[in-house]
């Protein structure tokens, strides 16, 4: 009897050990899955939370698994709004390299998520998220269709949810906040659908098929820098590769923009990086203002085509050149970025006030140019 009892104990122990091993193997083989919900045949969803891009309280913008934060070296000025950007792609898909100054070629189902917010907002010095813009790649790219669609989600006052803007006529939101010790107030404008396409359109061949909608920021030249992730700092392009979001076939050397605020960088690189992110999406082949013979992309090495000593197409205060080397006060570029007059200002949309720090940078750069115009 004792012998049988002992055999039963041994058998029970063996089963327990096997079960434990089986459980451990299951843990070892577990593959996490992104909770994101994005069916390209069903979007846009009515609420931002429907996509499950973020976990926890929505307003904290805590990215879910495989929702990757990113940030271009220099950022577009949008009335001092802060921005948090994220990218997500379906499992097993990745973007590919098209050129240092070209947006990455994204797969179907990819989503670019851009949140606009202010900090230290009156009366409680709180954070206020205004809008979340989505770019979703819904179809294969062709000569007449980029496959991208734009959607805008407007946050409620409670900061608990953002709802799809179905009107697309533009929404005005008053904001009062403190920026570096200075109180500021604006009426922030959420762009109309047509205004989104003004900046994001591209038609380099001027085909009859219409304008293409393309991303602006996620170019290799803008991502070839370090970002501080939750687990440490890493080059963004390399992080995209390790996440499986980018094919590992990048050229060894990529001409890259810098953070225009980084005073350790050469003035020329800072100024041209600022101009690239704020101006080049319109002043490029196929851009909204490509009828003007200026090309403000960072990779452009033709300084005349960059506007230096180039006579302006339109007369503003009898200014002789777009960029009057050595004389910022008599440069059309400075006049345009210093203006809030809709008939003069540049960029033509995306801001309602003057970016004083940007004007100071461009003025300093123009005054430093040695080969003065005749």
Residue 213: per-residue pLDDT: 82
Same-domain status, 190 and 269: no
Sign of CA dihedral 268, 271, 273, 275: negative
Residue 81: per-residue pLDDT: 96
Same-domain status, 181 and 63: yes
State the pTM of this model.
0.89
| Coarse DSSP helix, strand, coil percentages of the chain, rounded to the nearest 5 percent | 25, 25, 55
Residue 228: per-residue pLDDT: 97
Q: How many CB atoms sit inside 10 A of residue 150's CB?
A: 17
Same-domain status, 92 and 222: yes
CB 123 within 8 A of CB 139: no
Q: Which residues of the chain have pLDDT under 50?
A: 1-3, 6-10, 14-19, 22, 206-208
Q: Please provide residue 266's backbone torsions phi and psi, each rounded to the nearest 5 degrees.
A: -60, 145
CA 298 – CA 280 distance, rounded (Å):
8
Same-domain status, 172 and 70: yes
Would 252 be classed as within a structural domain? no
By residue range, what is the domain housing residue 280?
A: 259-374
Structural domains in the chain (count): 3
Would 235 be classed as within a structural domain? yes
Residue 356: per-residue pLDDT: 96
Would 43 be classed as within a structural domain? no
Same-domain status, 226 and 319: no
What is the enclosing helix (H) or strand (E) of 198? helix 193-200
Residue 315: per-residue pLDDT: 85
Same-domain status, 183 and 311: no
Same-domain status, 224 and 310: no
Burial of 181 (0-12, 13-18, 19+ CB in 10 A): exposed
Same-domain status, 60 and 155: yes
Same-domain status, 272 and 172: no
Residue 285: per-residue pLDDT: 75
Residue 159: per-residue pLDDT: 98
Would 41 be classed as within a structural domain? no
Residue 195: per-residue pLDDT: 72
Would 153 be classed as within a structural domain? yes
Same-domain status, 215 and 67: yes
């Amino acid at each position: 009897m004792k012998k049988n009892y002992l055999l039963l104990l041994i058998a029970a122990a063996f089963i327990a050990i096997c079960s434990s091993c089986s459980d451990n193997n299951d843990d070892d083989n577990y593959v996490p899955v992104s909770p994101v919900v994005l069916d390209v045949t069903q979007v846009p969803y009515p609420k931002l939370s429907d996509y499950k891009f973020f976990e926890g309280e929505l307003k904290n913008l805590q990215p879910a698994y495989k929702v990757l934060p990113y940030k271009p070296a220099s950022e577009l000025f949008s009335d001092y709004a802060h921005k948090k950007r994220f990218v997500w792609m379906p499992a097993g898909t990745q973007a590919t390299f098209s050129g240092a100054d070209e947006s990455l070629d994204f797969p179907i189902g990819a989503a670019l998520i851009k949140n606009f917010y202010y900090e230290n907002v009156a009366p409680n010095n709180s954070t206020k998220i205004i809008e979340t813009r989505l770019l979703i790649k819904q179809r294969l790219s062709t000569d007449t269709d980029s496959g991208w669609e734009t959607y805008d989600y407007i946050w409620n006052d409670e900061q608990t949810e953002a709802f799809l803007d179905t009107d697309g006529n533009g929404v005005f939101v008053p904001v009062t906040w403190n920026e570096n010790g200075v109180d500021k107030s604006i009426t922030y404008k959420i762009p109309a659908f047509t205004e989104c396409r003004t900046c994001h359109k591209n038609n380099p061949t001027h085909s009859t098929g219409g304008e293409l909608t393309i991303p602006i920021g996620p170019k290799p030249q803008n991502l070839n820098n370090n970002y501080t992730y939750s687990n440490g700092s890493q080059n963004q392009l390399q992080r995209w590769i390790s996440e499986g979001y980018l094919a590992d076939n990048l050229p060894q050397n990529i001409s890259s923009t810098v953070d225009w605020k980084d005073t350790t960088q050469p003035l020329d690189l800072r100024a041209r990086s600022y101009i690239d992110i704020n101006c080049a999406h319109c002043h490029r082949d196929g851009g909204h203002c490509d009828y003007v013979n200026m090309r403000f992309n960072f990779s452009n090495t033709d300084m005349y085509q960059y506007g230096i000593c180039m006579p302006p197409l339109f007369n503003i205060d009898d200014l002789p050149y777009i960029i009057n080397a050595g004389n910022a006060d008599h440069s059309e570029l400075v006049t345009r970025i210093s203006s809030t007059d809709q008939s003069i200002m540049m960029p033509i949309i995306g801001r309602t006030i003057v970016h004083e720090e940007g004007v100071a940078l461009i003025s300093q750069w123009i005054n430093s140019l040695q080969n003065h115009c005749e």
